[in-house]
Amino acid sequence: MGNYQLNNIYHGFKFIHTEEVKDVSSTAFLFEHVKSGAKLLFLKNEDDNKVFSISFRTPPEDNTGVFHILEHSVLCGSDKYPVKEPFVELLKGSLSTFLNAFTFSDKTMYPLASKNDKDFRNLIDVYLDAVFHPNIYKYKEILEQEGWHYELNEVKDDINLKGVVYNEMKGAFSSPEGLLMRANQNSLYPDTAYGFESGGDPLYIPDLTYEHFIDSHKKYYSPANSYIYLYGNLDIDEKLAYLDEKYLNAYDRIDVDSSIEPQAPIGKKETVRAYPILPGEDDQDKTYLSLNYAVSKATDPETYLAFDILDYLLLDSPAAPLKKAILDAGIGRDVFGSYDNSILQPYFSVNVKNSNESQKDAFKKVVSDTLNQLVKKGIDKKQIEAAINVKEFQLREADYGSMPKGLIYSITVMDSWLYGGDPLTHLRFEKTLATIKQALTGNYFETLIEKYLLNSDHESLVVVKPSKTLADEEARTVAEKLAKFKQSLDSESLNQLVTSTKKLQERQASEDRSEDLRTIPLLSLDDIDKKTEELPLSEIDLDGAKTLYHELPTNKIAYLSLYFDTAALAEDQIPWIALLKELLGKIDTAKYSYESLVNEVNIQTGDVHFETNVISDKDNDDVYTTQFSVKAKILQDKLPAAFDLIHEILYNSRFDNKERLKAIIKEIKSRMEIAFNQSGQSVAVRRVGAYFSKSAAYKERLRGLTFYQFIRSLDQNFDESYAKAADTLRALTGALFSKDRLVIGLTGDREIFDRVHAQFGKLGLTSYSDAPAAAQPVALIPSRNEGLMTSSKIQYAAKGANFKQLGFTYTGQLLVLKQILTLDYLWNRVRVMGGAYGCGVSAESSGNFIFWSYRDPNLRETLKIYDEAAGFASSFKADEFSMTKYIIGTIANLDSPLTPSTKGELSDERYFAHVAEKDVQRIREEVLAAKPTDIQQFATLLKAITDQNHICVFGNESKIKENKDLFDECVDAFD
- In 570-693, alpha helices (H): 574-583, 594-604, 639-652, 658-678, 680-689
Buried b (16+ CB within 10 A) or exposed e, 319-332: bbbbbbbbbebebb
pLDDT of residue 770: 56
pLDDT of the residue at 544:
86
Q: Which amino acid does the sequence have at 48? A: D
For the stretch 213-260, pLDDT in tens is 999 999 999 999 999 999 999 999 999 999 999 999 999 999 999 999
What is the model's pLDDT at position 767? 81
Report the phi/psi class of residue 896: left, alpha or beta, with left for phi > 0 and alpha for psi in -120 to 50. beta
- What local confidence, expressed as pLDDT, does residue 271 receive? 96
pLDDT at position 678: 87
User: Where in the sequence numbering do the catalytic residues fall?
Assistant: 71, 146
* SS3 (DSSP) at 421: coil
**Angle at Cα 522 formed by Cα 518 and Cα 527, nearest 5°?**
150
**pLDDT at residue 913, rounded to an integer:** 94
Element (H, E) at 820: helix 812-820
Tell me the residue ranges of DSSP E strands in 509-619: 538-542, 545-551, 557-565, 607-617
3-state SS, residue 122: helix
pLDDT for 784 equals 82
The answer to whether the CB of 324 falls within 8 A of the CB of 369 is no
| DSSP 8-state secondary structure symbol assigned to residue 49 | S
Q: Are 708 and 669 in contact (CB under 8 A)?
A: yes
What's the pLDDT score for residue 2?
65
- List, in sequence order, the alpha helices (H) in 221-319: 236-246, 301-311
| φ/ψ (deg, to 5) at 2 | 50, -115
Query: pLDDT at position 775, please?
Result: 53
**Measured distance CA(227)–CA(54) in Å, rounded:** 6
Contact 768, 825 (CB under 8 A): no
Weakly modelled stretches of the chain, pLDDT under 70: 1-2, 768-776
Residue (of 628, 192, 231) closest to 413 by Cα position: 231
The DSSP line for 149-198 is EEE-SSTTSPPEEE-HHHHHHHHHTT-HHHHHHHHHHHHH-TTSGGGS-T
